[in-house]
Each structure stands twice: as structure tokens, then as C-alpha cells.
Amino acid sequence: MARALYMDDSYLKSWNAKVVSVTDDKYVVLDNTAFYPKGGGQPWDEGSIIKDDQEYKVVYVGKFSGNISHEVDKSGLKEGDKVHCELNWERRYTYMRYHTASHLISNILYKRADAKITGNQIEMDKTRMDFSMLDYSPEKLRDFVDEANSIIEQDLPTTIDYMTRDEVLGKPELARLAVGLPKNIKEFRIVRIGDIDEQVDGGTHINHLKEIGKIEVTKTVNKGKNNRRMYFILK
Ligand SMILES: [Zn+2]
């Protein structure tokens, strides 16, 4: 199985790798990769795989039966090729900022209003979060986002480490997520924001909250207590 380099270093932008397999001339598996595969509300990374003077553009990355598969725009790569990889860093970094921002917002929604996140999708300029919240008003939501922005000003660090299944089960707010995961997973990746938030998560995150910038709500949709939605952008 490929080593997912983004798990321990979200800031790795370029690296060397070896081609493990190529399917249908365009689906490439590498021995190690920092390309993030679509999942957990975060879009896939784009960038290039370079062999000699040839550049293969990575147009999609997904995880299929445990393997991270890179779809490239042309044929030519072969098993055993030594390649150099480069992320489209602007795209990835934007998604890192949005991903950490959405953890921060969900933390406040949960703490202040017992709201549960029911869905989220990070997208350039129209990132959305869906949540259930009993006593809702747009004004309240604005207060929560103000609180998120003031926490960003404190510039708390985000950190990554790992917990065993038993440790996760000992934390009710994490265990809720963990029980649904396959029994063969023994180690869970935990993303923390200072000492205010921790979540079981496989995504990429910024190191310091100030990198988020400022959260601005662009639109809210309200279709009942189990069906609220907000869109936000980062300034
Ligand atoms: Zn996440």
C-alpha cells in the first residue's frame, strides 16, 4: 500500500516516487504520495507527475481498495518508473485552510448549540456545511462565526497524532465516529486545534489558525431543524 505522505506533513509540495502500477494507461499507483484522494468533504489534489522531460498532469485522485490512484492526462508511465511529483499548491493550500476552518466552525456549533454536522463539502468559493440545530437564527449563526474569527486571532496551533481504538472509545465525542469504522483499524489519526477541538480525521490542515484568514458567511439556507446549511468563504 502506498505511503500517504500528507498524513504526517500537510505542507509537503514535491517528492520523488516510484510507479507501482499503471492501469488502462492512465491510473497510476505510486510507492508514496502526497496527492490527497477525494474524501471526507475535501476535494482531490491536482498537480504533476514528471518522468524525464515528460509532464503528466494529475486530473483526479481517488482511493480504491486501499490504494491511492492518480488519474493522469496521457499514457506513457510504466511500472518501475522513477518519477518526481509536484502538487498544485495553491489549490491544496486553499483546501487546507477551508478544512481547518470547517473543524473550527463545527466545534463552535456543537459547543454553543449542540448542533451536529450532517454534511460538508469544501469547494473553491462555495464551501458549505449542513447541520441540525434546534433553536436557530441567522443572528446566532453570525455570533458563532464571530467567535470562530476571534479564535483565529489567537492563532492556536493545529497538531496531528494517533490514538489507539481504546483511547478513542474512551472519548465519547470521538468514539461516536470510531465505532462505525472497520474493526481492523487499530490506529486513528487525530487532528487537534489547540486544546479546544479534536476529531478523528484523514484530511490536510494548516499549522496555525491565522493562516485561515477571516471566515465570512455568504449564504444560509434553512429547511427545518435537521436541515440548516451555511456557505462560507475565506478572506
Ligand atoms: Zn475534517
The three grid cell numbers given for residue 147, joined into one nine-digit string: 467567535
pLDDT at 166: 86
- DSSP secondary structure, 21-81, as one string: EEETTTEEEESEE-PPPSBTTBPPP-EEEEETTEEEEEEEEEEETTEEEEEESSS---TT-
Residue 175 has pLDDT above 90, yes or no: no
Residue 82 has pLDDT above 60, yes or no: yes
29-66 burial code (b ≥16 CB/10 A, e <16): bbeebbbbbeeebbbbbbbbbeeeeeebebebbebeee
Which residues are within 5 Å of ligand 1 (an ion), measured at CB?
A: 201, 203
pLDDT at 3: 79
Phi, psi of 96 (to 5 degrees): -60, -45
What's the CA-to-centroid distance between 118 and ligand 1, angstroms? 13
Which segment of 44-53, 164-173, 219-228 scores lowest on mean pLDDT? 164-173
| H/E stretch holding 3 | strand 3-4
Give the tens place of pLDDT for each residue, 104-125: 999 999 999 988 888 899 998 8
Residue 177 has pLDDT above 70, yes or no: no
Pick the CATH number of 3-87 from 3.40.1030.10, 2.40.30.130, 1.10.645.10, 2.60.40.10: 2.40.30.130
What's the CA-to-centroid distance between 51 and ligand 1, angstroms? 33
Least Cα distance to 13 among 31, 44, 34, 38 occurs for 34
Start-end ranges of CATH 2.40.30.130 in the chain?
3-87
What's the CA-to-centroid distance between 102 and ligand 1, angstroms? 7
Helix (H, G, I), strand (E, B) or coil at 161: strand
Instruction: Give the pTM.
Output: 0.94
Give the tens place of pLDDT for each residue, 121-161: 999 888 999 999 888 888 999 999 999 999 999 999 999 99
CB 78 within 8 A of CB 13: no
What's the CA-to-centroid distance between 173 and ligand 1, angstroms? 14
What's the CA-to-centroid distance between 192 and ligand 1, angstroms? 10
Start-end ranges of CATH 3.30.980.10 in the chain?
96-234
CA distance 205 to 103: 10
The three grid cell numbers given for residue 208, joined into one nine-digit string: 496555525
What's the CA-to-centroid distance between 213 and ligand 1, angstroms? 18
Helix (H, G, I), strand (E, B) or coil at 168: helix
What's the CA-to-centroid distance between 97 and ligand 1, angstroms? 11
Once rounded to an integer, what is the mean pLDDT over residues 218-225? Answer: 90
Q: Would you state the CATH architecture of domain 96-234?
A: 2-Layer Sandwich (3.30)
CB 130 within 8 A of CB 118: yes
